[in-house]
Amino acid sequence: MKKRTIEKIESAAYPLPAMILVAAVIYIPFILSGYYSLTKWNGIARQPEFIGLENFKVIFSLGGDFLKSLIFTAKYTVLFMIITNAAALVLAMALVKKFPLANTLRGMFFIPYIMSMTIVGFIWRFIFSSGFDTFFSLTGWSFFNWSWLGTSRLAFFSIVSVGVWQSLGFYIVLYIAGLEAMPREVLEAAIVDGAAGFVKFRRVILPLLSPAVATCMFMSLTNSLKVFDIILALTRGGPGGSTYSVTLNIYRDAFQNNRYGLGAAESLLFFVIVLGLTQIVLRVFRSGDLD
């Protein structure tokens, strides 16, 4: 009994430091954020003023910036997921083949992913301004003379393009891993049965690749929903506030406008939205079958 009691104490004691750390870093701040969402607080006053659901009324008001940023984030997420996964899958199927420059190209595609998103944003901000001006003077193509960061529509597509460019290599690696893990016997049997081209891809490769597709879809969803630093480096929410994502809008309200209560309410609402979307994606891909 004494030995069994010691084992139980050890089983409870070993994870205790990690549990305390997780609670201090995640759960306690989350609970406090829920409380601050019901208050009016500038981050300086000692006692927040309790105002109930007023912050949520501001969020859902017709002129609320949160709803505009939510629409922007939704459009960015849809385009990012579609373009990233489609391009990564096509490139992975090309790079999984054996040819002399395959490994070199894999490394070239992966290099942008290991770079900081802020650094990538500043690099592309220079390219969209000074770099394209130089190309326009050399070629005379009007394409390079467009205001890529100065108009709302072009700024949106610029952000999507840079986001896809930066993260594409990561998803290529995941798809290559899924393609190389496929059983060769099944692929050879499909060829013997006459499956080729798109039929082979649709009926054989894609179902076998469903775990990799589910992983990439889930990760591209979560990464695109929390887009922040690339927008901060490229446009800072401009022009005219048209490129504010939800995370950037929360940052602006909480740390620039000193409306911590409103920022907490927005973050809590966004948490619920992200939780719902991730559960939907997990439910869709839970079976692991894309047919």
- Domains along the sequence of the chain with CATH: 64-284 (1.10.3720.10)
When mean pLDDT is compared across 56-65, 99-108, 145-154, 170-179, the lowest value belongs to 56-65
pLDDT band at 63 (very low <50, low <70, confident <90, very high): low
- Cα separation of 208 and 203, whole Å? 9
CA-to-CA separations, 270 to 167, 245, 267, in angstroms, rounded: 23, 11, 5
What is residue 287's predicted lDDT score, i.e. its pLDDT? 59
Q: Pick the closest to residue 149 from 246, 245, 239 (CA basis).
A: 239
Question: Which residues, 6 or more positions from 59, have their beta carbon under 8 angstroms from its beta carbon?
Answer: 66, 67, 262, 265, 266, 269
| Greater pLDDT, 208 or 291 | 208
Question: Rounded mean pLDDT of 139-161?
Answer: 90
> How many angstroms separate the CA atoms of 188 and 195, rounded?
10
**Span 152-201, pLDDT tens digits:** 999 999 999 999 999 999 999 999 999 988 888 877 787 777 777 777 78
Under DSSP, is residue 50 helix (H, G, I), strand (E, B) or coil? strand
Residue-wise pLDDT for 227-240, tens only, equals 999 999 999 998 88
Highest-confidence range of 79-83, 144-148, 183-187, by mean pLDDT? 79-83
pTM metric for this prediction: 0.89
What average pLDDT does range 249-261 have in this prediction? 92
More confident residue, 261 or 189: 261
d(CA 208, CA 187): 10
pLDDT in tens, 173-184: 999 999 988 888
Q: Average pLDDT, stretch 249-269?
A: 92
3-state secondary structure of 88: helix
Average pLDDT over residues 270-290: 79
